[in-house]
């Protein structure tokens, strides 16, 4: 699914691999899904995007392993004084402790921070960000993995999939075509919103809530940083949970809190097309919990049939 302002619908997609009914993905699908994040991390930390993607593929079985599905851990990073949630599984020894992340994107961010944190990896950053062969050999030398063929495996993945082409990118693949809103909701462009340092146009919903539209290759971290927000704030403003892993081009991302209950004026809408609860929340800029309380709903996955009357505020 994909967040679009089309009639009443805003579709929320790219749910976590941890959701039920997980469908296995191919290596190429994995690359298509995570290349934007890998490039972003390369730009920030000088870690080759090809290495990050190859490690993700190898360590997580292209996002299909139990650790990736259940713990959003794509890099096999063990606890090492980790204070967050943990998952235990057999690895080199029985019942080893692994880190659990709220989203898989946080796994990518932590992978970079992990390599930057420990001195044994420091020498890797003397290599250029396009020297994937030295990085592959260096990771084994530093003790990232015990498999003696680890460098060859990484290099094989990189060359088979042509991942080294991402190491020369100066910017993630981002589309710049303008967002055109097709909805009854009034949408205006905020004057002066194209501030220096901002790459997203800011729109204002008729309810006064500011939002941006995700471009191809965007990430939660990127948008949060652009607007001076914490990741937790961005998730909260959009009612995202651990199931929302990546952004899809066209996703509507609120950068301010959505509206809550209006105690003075009641607002009701009639569903014109089968619509989910989160679609309504994003389309009408109304807090998800507010919608649930106003309409006596307990299931976040609620879908409304055509003709259903729904209270918005």
Q: How confident is the model at residue 98 (pLDDT cuts 50, 70, 90)?
A: very high
Topology of the domain covering 27-77+105-168: Lysozyme (1.10.530)
Mean pLDDT, residues 113-131:
93
Q: How confident is the model at residue 90 (pLDDT cuts 50, 70, 90)?
A: confident
Check if the beta carbon of residue 41 is closer than 8 Å to that of residue 108.
Answer: yes
The predicted structure's pLDDT at residue 21: 54
Where in the chain is CATH 1.10.530.10?
Answer: 27-77+105-168
Distances (CA, A) of 80 to 77, 155, 156, 199: 8, 27, 29, 37
Distances (CA, A) of 113 to 31, 36, 110, 179, 289: 21, 17, 5, 34, 34
The predicted structure's pLDDT at residue 313: 66
pTM of the model: 0.54
Which helix H or strand E contains 293, and what residues bound it? helix 288-294
Mean pLDDT, residues 142-156:
95
Q: How confident is the model at residue 265 (pLDDT cuts 50, 70, 90)?
A: low
Mean pLDDT, residues 148-170:
91
Q: Is the pLDDT of residue 62 over 90?
A: yes
């Amino acid at each position: 699914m994909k967040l679009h302002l089309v009639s009443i619908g805003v579709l929320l997609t790219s749910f976590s691999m941890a959701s039920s009914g997980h469908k296995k993905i191919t290596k190429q699908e994995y690359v298509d899904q995570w290349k934007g994040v890998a490039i972003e991390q390369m730009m920030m930390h000088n870690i080759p995007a090809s290495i990050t993607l190859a490690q993700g593929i190898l360590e997580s079985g292209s996002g299909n392993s139990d650790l990736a599905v259940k713990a959003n851990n794509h890099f096999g990073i063990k606890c090492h004084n980790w204070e967050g949630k943990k998952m235990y599984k057999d690895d080199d020894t029985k019942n080893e402790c692994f880190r659990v992340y709220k989203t898989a994107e946080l796994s990518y961010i932590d992978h970079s921070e992990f390599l930057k944190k420990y001195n044994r990896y420091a020498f890797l950053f003397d290599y250029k960000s396009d020297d994937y062969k030295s990085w592959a050999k260096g990771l084994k030398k530093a003790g990232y993995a015990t498999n003696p063929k680890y460098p060859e495996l990484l290099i094989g993945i990189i060359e088979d999939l042509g991942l080294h082409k991402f190491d020369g990118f100066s910017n993630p693949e981002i589309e710049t075509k303008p967002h055109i809103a097709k909805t009854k909701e009034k949408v205006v462009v905020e004057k002066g919103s194209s501030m220096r340092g901002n790459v997203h146009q800011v729109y204002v919903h008729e309810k006064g809530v500011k939002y941006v539209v995700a471009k191809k290759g965007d990430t939660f971290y990127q948008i949060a940083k652009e607007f001076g927000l914490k990741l937790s704030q961005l998730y909260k403003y959009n009612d995202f949970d651990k199931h929302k892993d990546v952004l899809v081009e066209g996703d509507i991302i609120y950068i301010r809190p959505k509206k809550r209950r209006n105690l003075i004026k009641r607002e009701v809408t009639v569903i014109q097309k089968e619509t989910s609860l989160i679609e309504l929340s994003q389309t009408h800029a109304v807090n998800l919990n507010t919608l649930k309380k106003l309409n006596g709903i307990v299931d976040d996955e609620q879908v409304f049939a055509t003709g259903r009357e729904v209270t918005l505020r």
